[in-house]
Structure 1
Amino acid sequence: MRLILLALSLLVAWPVQAAPPELLASLDALYARRADASASKELEASLKKELQAAPDDYELIWRSARLLTWQGDVAQDSRLKKVLGKQAWDRCEQGVKLAPARVECQYYAALGIGTYSQAVGIVKALGEGLEGKFNERLDAAIRIDPDFDFGGPVVIKGRYHFELPWPKRNLAESAKLLERAAAKFPQNLRAHAYLAETLLKDGKAAKAKESIVKVKQGSTAYNPAEAQLVQERSKKVEAEIEEELK
């Protein structure tokens, strides 16, 4: 009986994959090329088609949310960013119900909430009670697999402590988490870029420069679209650091 119960619990935590491996590999290959508008459009269309046929396929759900969070991150219009963040969040809430022991939807739900919060404004998001929901999902991701996405859950937790308004902001905790992620995943340029911002805000411009140099000189091979985006965005922080060091 105990073996039967164990088998049933595993089935709940790890739902049967409906999408064939070759389809998932194709979707992942398109995602790797997402900085190309045509590849991103093709991926969006493919995910929409596949989810219409298999709306409860966890592997499709989290990959769809992954694309939505990317689109929300790069969106310039706050209204579009808000919509995309909410879509990613909602999609992953469905995924969490299907597979609460999997890291992907816990992580991308947190990213979706974060994107939505940035769009509406952090203070307003706090007023809407989103901080607890964000931390519930992100802390679950950290418990399940803090190394997912090159230490992504830890990086986002570090950024969370930076983004909060005074008096909730905690630069020391932000730096500690970002240093931890950057040490374990030195290829993760976002970890270094966020660390540079935290250090600069904390009055440590010289140390911030060390981190921003790692962004500027870092390889993009681990995740070209992500890394190139971070390098472009880091130019503003680099200029602020240089101004502070004059």
Structure 2
Amino acid sequence: MRLILFALCSLVAFSARAAEPELLARLDALHERRGEAEGGKALEAELKAALSVTPDDFELVWRQARQLQWQADGAGSEKLKKVLGRQTWDVAEKAVKLAPNRVEGHYFAAAGIGAYSQAVGVMKALGEGLEGKFNERLDAAIKLDSGFYGAAPLLAKGRYYYELPWPKRDLKKSAEYYEKAIQQHPEMLRAYYFLAETLLRDDKAKEARNAIQKVKQGSVAYDPAEGRRIQEWAKKVEADIEEELK
């Protein structure tokens, strides 16, 4: 009986700690190290342990969606991206239900839908009616906090207009959303990377070169894992730009 009571007391104590600032600060510190193998593993383990005790803790749920989105963003195959995108979407929808007036759930739900749509193909995603669901979540995120996570909602909206098939594609609007994001977070290399791709597709290779140079020369101090990922991706875009300028 004493052993059972001790276990119950320990469980309650852990549950009480689950949402404490110290735990959340530790998770966020590990998130900063997510680009390292050990950092990513430690983050997943801490999230799993905390969620096993308090699965409906909003602060933990949206952080789980954030980690899944990071993995989906860098997935090495369309199959894996589809799975991770769906998982991101599902977890983020739970976050929306837990706290509908917070931006995190809405943004990561949109990001999950976006990753899933990229994996299955934009035309198929449109056929499945995902466009409306994506925009519903993303527009809510923009309304709640357009500057969240380095103006990520604005970047996602710009990417939406970039990836739409003709005649729905709108490269001017795409670039406008990136410029808005840059005004809020000029340190965000992804904004310049996306802008470069949009400008290149819009037959503005010289302007695209200027944007990609900002990626190459920019500091990654704002988020080392994110910055290094984008600088690596930028190499191919830079090569495409230089080929276009020949």
TM over 0.5: yes
Q: Which residue of 1 aligns with 2:53?
A: 53
Change (3 A) 1:223 1:214: same
Q: Which residue of 2 aligns with 1:208?
A: 208
Letter in 1 for 2:24: L
- Give runs of aligned pairs for residues 76-115 of structure 1, distance below 5 A: 76-115=76-115
Distance 1:202 1:100 in 2: 37
Please state whether the residue corresponding to 1:38 is helix, strand or coil. Answer: helix
Please state whether the residue corresponding to 1:56 is helix, strand or coil. Answer: coil
> Is the 1:69–1:85 Cα contact (8 Å) retained in structure 2?
yes
Distance 1:36 1:208 in 2: 30
Q: Which residue of 2 aligns with 1:173?
A: 173
> Is the 1:158–1:173 Cα contact (8 Å) retained in structure 2?
yes
Alignment of 1:124 onto 2:124 = yes
Identity of aligned residues (%): 61
The answer for unaligned runs of 5 or more in structure 2 is 1-15
Please state whether the residue corresponding to 2:146 is helix, strand or coil. Answer: coil
Q: Deviations over 1:103-150 (max 9, x none)?
A: 011011111111111111111111111111010100000000001111
The answer for unaligned runs of 5 or more in structure 1 is 1-15
Q: Which residue of 1 aligns with 2:234?
A: 234
1:17 to partner: Cα distance: 9.7
Q: Over the residues paired in the alignment, what is the CA RMSD in angstroms?
A: 1.3
Letter in 2 for 1:165: P
Q: Which residue of 2 aligns with 1:137?
A: 137
Q: Which residue of 1 aligns with 2:30?
A: 30
Distance 1:37 1:177 in 2: 33
1:18 to partner: Cα distance: 5.3
- After TM superposition, where is structure 1 displaced by more than 2 Å over at least 4 residues in a row? none
Please state whether the residue corresponding to 1:34 is helix, strand or coil. Answer: coil
1:184 to partner: Cα distance: 2.4
> Is the 2:150–2:188 Cα contact (8 Å) retained in structure 1?
yes
Distance 2:236 2:23 in 1: 39
Report the structure number with the largest CA radius of gyration. Answer: 2
